[in-house]
């Protein structure tokens, strides 16, 4: 680990801005992942439901 040269306070200020930026990116990614999971879940549930219906109709 190498200490950054120059004024340490400017280094900290910059990195806190970077952290804020990456934090919003992270939140966007999380929202995206959750959305995709929900869509996948719904599709899976529909598929399971369809299979149950198929089993039911084939057993009649």
Give the integer Cα–Cα distance in Å for 14 and 1: 18
Decide if 39 is inside a domain: yes
Query: How many distinct structural domains can be found in the chain?
Result: 1
Residues 6+ apart with CB under 8 A from 11: 4
Boundaries of domain holding 56: 25-60
pLDDT in tens, 1-41: 566 566 666 666 667 677 777 788 888 888 888 888 888 88
Q: Decide: helix, strand or coil at residue 60.
A: coil
> Does residue 57 lie within any of the structural domains?
yes
CA 41, 45, 47, 52: dihedral to nearest 10 degrees?
A: 160
Q: How confident is the model at residue 59 (pLDDT cuts 50, 70, 90)?
A: confident
* DSSP letter for each residue of 40-53: HHHHHHHHHHHHHH
């Amino acid at each position: 680990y190498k200490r950054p040269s120059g004024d340490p306070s400017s280094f900290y200020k910059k990195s806190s801005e970077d952290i804020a930026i990456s934090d919003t990116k992270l939140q966007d990614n999380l929202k995206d992942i959750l959305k995709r999971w929900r869509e996948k879940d719904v599709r899976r549930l529909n598929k399971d439901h369809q299979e149950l219906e198929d089993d039911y109709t084939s057993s009649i």
